Structure 1
């Protein structure tokens, strides 16, 4: 089972989150038929959204938009307070040569551009912060965002391991955030542990749990595990929602679909679920539109 663990330093100097997202990312890869570099970029962004959304409450929603000029196009991901995440990459079938180190070239596939993070906390206006992409590798960009936009010094590690058959064999992430009262000894200890920290996806592939990962990063420091909670891929699209969308686009557009195509086929961007509306469905929708405009 994929899950996320929250922990804090007993002296209140930092908080840390770790998650395993292997099945979550693999489901997204399958739904969108992602090739390896797209699976890695989308998986890192989804994992990052779950980590950043770990403190959401109630109906709060966090949305990440990675808008680069690389061949992947936009990456859009949304997570909620229940540990549910959904997302898509604009161009899921992108193939680029590996880096000289033999890694997937996520940075090159994302390109230059901006990272936008929106927190909808149920207030009148959602809060959106934006920064320029530092590398396009996602983790470094998120750490840069947290430090610059939210003034919270942070370390972020995100990993997605894609197998030779294109399936995701390991995925997960880590988020460490320092509080102003962190003393020099704590900082030095964390810096040392992070410098020795192996590739996160390799740890998950070996069977290490989120708790194990937290213990590796906080070795020599006292922490308290607060809770663990499941995470998963889940989209809230439905036939009813898309029917409301068709009503919203108006009589002229729906009439054109009916006359020219005899129906409509709509795909949800986030989960690739396909919804078919036949001529009878569109006729009924047109009647609903007419009722509303009386």
Structure 2
């Protein structure tokens, strides 16, 4: 049974606004989210940090959405990681995966950097919004490949909102995740010139979010620390979790969309279907596939 202390420190996101209404801030703790992602996908240290940062970033960006609107971030590069996908919605459900989860870099080389995992590539963001028939998609070239700098650059180039971003996954000497979380600060339209620049400079010298969380700071404290000496008003807070809505029935429904030729091709044996996002495995029997084939042929008659 979870203790009151542990419950009070669960993964959550908090949103706030400065007393003058010129700066918005979101702070999220994603420690359990990243630990769950690592366990589900058997992530290397490299991918634990990269995917952990991406999961954290998508949740911070999703905090600006409504209801069950969602945002998906894809980072695809020529490095060994290949493709990295993270997705979150406004209600706090986060999920993601990496194309090559077990790859690692050669850290004995002094020239090696975290960004070498993705290398040269593209960051794409897709938003699925209410009242819009098609998702909005925008892309930029990766500037560093470390996720943090790429997301900050995306916010300025594509969202055209001056922003400051901190994304952090802390690891101890044994490679275990200590804490994970992030901060997104955005300038409001009426903010005085240079306001966000001051905060950006402050955050350059800010303690890592993981160290603050490990030191007893919670999301409220981190929000206040970044905004001090200005007071900040809390707007909202919510729990966040690694959560995937995949089900066996959804996978069978997807199989039912195949044409009779494709179903005929796989009808001689059962199928194991795996969800990319959460690595859950679903077994579909030979008889179920044959039943889908019969239903598909019946619809065509």
TM range (shorter): over 0.9
**Which of 227, 247, 251 is matched with 1:242 structurally?**
251
Note closer, same or farther for the CA distance 1:187–1:57 as it changes in structure 2 (3 Å cut).
closer
**Which of 272, 291, 298 is matched with 1:265 structurally?**
272
Q: Are 1:193 and 1:216, in contact at CA under 8 Å, matched by a contact in 2? A: no
Root mean square deviation of aligned Cα: 2.0
**Which of 270, 291, 294 is matched with 2:298 structurally?**
291
C-alpha separation between the residues in 2 aligned to 1:34 and 1:145?
Answer: 26
- Give unpaired runs (5+ residues) of structure 2: 1-9
Report what 2:5 is aligned to. Answer: none
2:125 pairs with 1:121: no
1:44 aligned counterpart, secondary structure: helix
Report what 1:108 is aligned to. Answer: 116
How far has the Cα of 1:45 moved from its partner? Answer: 0.4
How far has the Cα of 1:192 moved from its partner? Answer: 4.9
How far has the Cα of 1:165 moved from its partner? Answer: 4.8
Report what 2:281 is aligned to. Answer: 274
Report what 2:265 is aligned to. Answer: 256
Counting matched residue pairs gives: 291
2:63 aligned counterpart, secondary structure: helix
**Which of 180, 187, 202 is matched with 1:193 structurally?**
202
Q: Are 1:37 and 1:105, in contact at CA under 8 Å, matched by a contact in 2? A: no
How far has the Cα of 1:124 moved from its partner? Answer: 1.4
C-alpha separation between the residues in 2 aligned to 1:236 and 1:188?
Answer: 40
* TM-score normalised to structure 1 length: 0.93
Q: Are 1:193 and 1:218, in contact at CA under 8 Å, matched by a contact in 2? A: no
2:116 pairs with 1:91: no
C-alpha separation between the residues in 2 aligned to 1:9 and 1:171?
Answer: 24
* TM-score normalised to structure 2 length: 0.91
**Which of 165, 169, 177 is matched with 1:156 structurally?**
165
How far has the Cα of 1:258 moved from its partner? Answer: 2.3
Larger deviation, residues 250-259 vs 183-192: 183-192
How far has the Cα of 1:187 moved from its partner? Answer: 4.3
How far has the Cα of 1:186 moved from its partner? Answer: 4.0
